[in-house]
Structure 1
Amino acid sequence: MSQPVTALVIMGVSGCGKSSVSEALCRLNGATAIEGDSFHPAANIEKMSAGHPLNDDDRAGWLDILCDELRRSLKAGEHPVLTCSALKKKYRDHLREAAPGLGFVFLELTRAVAADRVSHRPGHFMPASLIDSQFATLESPKGEPLTLALNASEDSVEDLAEQTNAWWLQHGFEPSK
């Protein structure tokens, strides 16, 4: 077995099901959910709500906060599951620096499915108009170490959580007793 996976990032474009899969996974195995969107500064939320995509500078401070949250959770003896778009390799590498053994679960889906889901999601700051910019920014993590890619267009949330849990168990996850 390669390096054990100590924590997970559930990643992908808006609408792929990051939060839903994280919640289902944490119910399944007792891991600790960290909702990445809840750590966005107000300026980022305002920018996205106005229909403007974030750039690297906008994301830098947010990613630093997420790194701190991963470190805090691991230090507390938890098994963190972070939801974060992690669209670029450099963002994923930054997160990896915070948590050795960090695994990524890429919820892959089509542009049409993402746009449909986001347009029907009540109360979220991310408008469907930003889906194209997310796909333009996305650098696929396929082939990166400790990365699982799943079909989020067709598989149910429960199936995605079960597949993720099975993969994590194969990569050294030991549920808390």
Structure 2
Amino acid sequence: MGGEPSPGARSEAADTGDGLVLDLQLCFDLLKASRAFSGVYRNLLGDAGLTYPQYLTMMTLWEHREMQVKQLGEVLRLDSGTLSPLLKRLEAAGLVTRERNAADERSVTVRPTADGNALRDQVRQVPARIMAATGLSPAQAADLRNTLRTLTESLDAAAHTHDTPD
């Protein structure tokens, strides 16, 4: 039947040698994994009222207690156009405060509020539940994290070079 391929079905198209086959793209597998993670996080974070990016932001703030917005964006790899509205929503929910530096109006410090810190207890089991959902052993997860970090470093280096492969 000539319908849509089922999710995850491998393409029957032959690799023509130029690599332009979707199922051969590492980036596509990473995208699918990222979206699958997002779905699991959406289910786990729903009761806490957090989105996945908000959860990552709160985890970073719980770890560092306070950060400059610019530093937070660098850690999370979010631009200001994405991070600012996210922080505004967290602030409106009473989970963080943002404070401008009196000496440098461009610098804004963000920190969790008491309610934001209390939320930590509500989501404390999320990492263990995510690990269980992956089906990976702790050693496999560590190996994958290391591989992904190496991949990210390599891609960052490639993005900062002016030479592109032919």
Higher share of residues assigned helix? 2
Scaled to the shorter chain, the TM-score interval is under 0.3
Asked which structure has the greater RCO (Cα within 8 Å, sep 6+), the reply is 1
| TM-score, scaled to structure 1 | 0.24
Largest Rg, 1 or 2: 2
